[in-house]
């Protein structure tokens, strides 16, 4: 007599786990893994040669650097990582990009309809390790970024603002550097960080020029509602506008830009969000909020020193 064995039923828990893996697979497939390819990555013994031999130098056992005593505490912490030698630099860049290459190769085999938990785990491990290596390279070159940014500080652009952009430029350089071309990373990064700082200064100068060239329009606003009569004459409104314009010009360029955007002055006919202003300035949303608070505080102090009774004259006095 022929007997049959029923396949084990798929439980709700199993179904949820499969759905979760399928979702994770789709997320991995949607995210591009960027790396600098090398012709040797496809060699049969590449994995052994790169991952095993390069493991002799890893971020975990890297020596700490001597930090200059004159640096503030928050900058000193950024400079604790020892500079990389030429051989160490080549080793870490090769390992980082090979890990991304391997993760991308496994990624190309994924199927959301038949998710592979082991493959997903391996991809995540490779990418996490690559990220640790990237952060180590960034930290090892932090003193370079600081030294470059210091040269571009102006009264309108603080060191901290420029350093934020400089670090992002440094991270971008790490992702794009081809270690096999034969020159040091510092040569490549120096130009990119300097260009980033210079671009930030020129963008701020252009914004300032637009503001100044627009004249009184930057502080002009509609004062008459339809069907209503103003209680102040044109001379009074003109005086008030001149006062506001004079106060605005005492703010730095970024403060002028934020206040104009937040209060729809001049070319900004609509109130702009903190995020849109932050994106254009290249700073965080919270930093933009702080700039607004600082600017408004300055305007309030300036306004408090003005005797409006001497300025505001009713039209029918």
Residues 88 and 172 grouped into a single domain? yes
Say whether both 44 and 158 belong to one domain. yes
Range of the domain at 113: 28-202
* Torsion (CA) 186, 192, 198, 201 in degrees, nearest 10: -110
Within a domain: 208? no
Domain presence at residue 14: no
Residues 143 and 272 in one domain: no
Reported for 271-276, long-range contacts at CB under 8 A and 24+ positions apart, including other chains, are none
For residues 127 and 182, membership in a common domain is answered with yes
pLDDT for position 314: 46
How many domains does one find in the chain? Answer: 2
Distance CA 209, CA 108 (A): 50
CATH of the domain at 187: 1.20.120
Model pTM?
Answer: 0.63
pLDDT at 140: 93
Structural domain includes residue 16: no
* Same-domain check for residues 35 and 146: yes
Answer yes or no: is 157 within a domain.
yes
What does the pLDDT profile of the chain (317 residues) look like in tens digits? 555 555 555 676 767 778 888 889 999 998 889 999 999 999 999 998 898 876 656 666 666 656 666 667 777 777 888 989 999 999 999 999 999 999 999 999 999 999 999 999 999 999 999 999 999 999 999 999 999 999 888 877 788 888 888 999 999 999 999 999 989 999 999 999 999 888 888 877 776 666 555 544 444 433 334 344 444 455 655 566 666 766 777 777 778 888 777 776 655 557 788 888 888 777 788 888 888 888 888 877 777 776 655 555 444 44
Per-residue confidence (pLDDT) for residue 18, from 0 to 100:
80
98 and 168 belong to one structural domain: yes
Q: Are residues 276 and 182 in the same domain?
A: no
* 195 occurs within a structural domain: yes
Residue 105, in any domain of the structure: yes
Whether residue 186 sits in one domain with residue 72: yes
Both 301 and 250 in a single domain? yes
20 in a domain, yes or no? no
Q: Which domain CATH number covers 244?
A: 1.10.10.10
Distance CA 214, CA 208 (A): 10
CA–CA separation, 103 and 33 (whole Å): 8
Is residue 190 domain-shared with residue 258, that is, in the same domain?
no
Q: Are residues 33 and 90 in the same domain?
A: yes
Does a structural domain hold residue 273?
A: yes
HEC string of 139-205?
A: HHCHHHHHHHHHCCCCCCCCHHHHHHHHHHHHHHHHHHCCHHHCCCHHHHHHHHHHHHHHHHHHHHH
Q: Are residues 192 and 238 in the same domain?
A: no
């Amino acid at each position: 007599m022929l007997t049959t064995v029923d396949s084990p039923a798929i439980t709700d828990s199993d179904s949820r786990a499969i759905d979760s893996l399928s979702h994770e697979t789709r997320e991995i497939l949607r995210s591009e893994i960027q790396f600098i390819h090398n012709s040797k990555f496809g060699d049969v013994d590449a994995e052994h040669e790169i991952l095993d031999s390069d493991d002799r130098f890893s971020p975990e056992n890297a020596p700490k650097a001597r930090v200059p005593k004159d640096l503030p505490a928050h900058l000193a912490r950024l400079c604790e990582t020892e500079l990389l030698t030429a051989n160490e630099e080549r080793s870490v860049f090769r390992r980082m990009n090979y890990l991304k290459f391997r993760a991308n190769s496994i990624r190309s085999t994924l199927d959301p309809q038949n998710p592979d938990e082991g493959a997903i785990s391996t991809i995540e491990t490779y990418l996490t390790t690559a990220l640790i290596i990237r952060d180590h390279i960034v930290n090892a070159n932090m003193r370079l970024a600081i030294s470059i940014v210091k040269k571009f500080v102006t009264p309108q652009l603080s060191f901290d603002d420029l350093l934020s952009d400089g670090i992002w430029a440094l991270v971008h350089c790490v992702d794009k550097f081809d270690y096999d071309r034969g020159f040091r990373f510092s040569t490549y990064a120096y130009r990119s960080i300097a260009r980033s700082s210079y671009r930030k200064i020129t963008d701020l100068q252009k914004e300032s020029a637009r503001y100044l060239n627009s004249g009184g329009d930057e502080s002009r606003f509609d004062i008459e509602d339809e069907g209503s009569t103003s209680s102040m004459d044109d001379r009074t409104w003109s005086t008030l506008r001149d006062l506001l314009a004079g106060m605005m010009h005492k703010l730095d360029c970024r403060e002028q830009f934020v206040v104009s955007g937040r209060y729809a002055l001049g070319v900004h006919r609509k109130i702009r969000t903190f995020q849109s202003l932050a994106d254009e300035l290249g700073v965080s949303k919270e930093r933009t909020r702080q700039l607004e608070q600082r600017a408004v505080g300055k305007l309030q102090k300036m306004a408090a020193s003005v005797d409006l009774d001497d300025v505001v004259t009713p039209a029918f006095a």
